[in-house]
Amino acid sequence: MAAPIYVVLLGKQGAGKGTQSELLCARHGLVHLSTGDILRAAVRAGSDLGHEVSRVLEAGELVSDDLVNRLVEERLAAPDAAAGAVFDGYPRTRGQAEALDAILAPEAIGVCVLVELPDGLVVERLSARRVCEGCGTTYTATDPSAVSGVCERCGGRVVQRADDTPEAIGARLAAYDRDTRPLIDFYDARRLLATVDGDRPVAEVQASIEAALAARGLA
């Protein structure tokens, strides 16, 4: 059996990490591991960890690194994660990256892909983003479902997220620069960082990511 493939995807909001994660998972049989998804899944499952997450969220508090790390460890132990995972939105800090090394093994991460996108384009993309409140499907402002306000997949309401205004996006970009730079340096120092240009068609970005995997013997 081939060794599991573990890929960390970094990039600003709107860089297309979610889309590229799904493409990677489909091609290589990996699980898409995003912090938001595992938090929601744990709550829905009603596990001990899920109840702990619910209590934190209901109190209006932030989920601690320790709790997130435990959720990640639990998710990676599931049978469908045997082939590996694409980490999207996790790790967010150097501390989480070190915890992930402890969960897997220091040499387990095969590559960290940084999808670069200029700030101006981030603002443009996110300002035009619309999201279904029911299923989370993402649309652009000109898509029929966004114009009608009704999701074509589930019939849910399609809205603009409160944090997709230019002012809120600017604050998130500042937080990204502050929090993610140490993480980029962490993986770069270990020669695991591969940078790709995100300002291209999806297929071209996908090809660059696949080339980064192939260069490390992962594809």
Q: Which residues are catalytic?
A: 17, 92, 129, 161, 172
For residue 33, the surrounding DSSP H or E stretch is: strand 31-34
Contact 86, 24 (CB under 8 A): yes
DSSP annotation of 79: G
Which of 91, 107, 80, 134 lies closest to 190 in space, CA to CA? 107
Which of 200, 218, 209 lies closest to 21 in space, CA to CA? 209
Contact 81, 26 (CB under 8 A): no
Two tokens at 42?
A: 């744990």
Per-position DSSP letters for 174-190, written without gaps between them? HHHHHHHHHHHHHHHHT
Measured between alpha carbons, how far is 86 from 7 in angstroms, rounded to an integer? 5
Measured between alpha carbons, how far is 131 from 22 in angstroms, rounded to an integer? 17
What are the backbone dihedrals phi and psi of residue 6, each rounded to the nearest 5 degrees, phi first? -125, 120
CA distances from residue 57 to 25, 36, 62, 64 in whole angstroms, order as listed = 29, 12, 7, 11
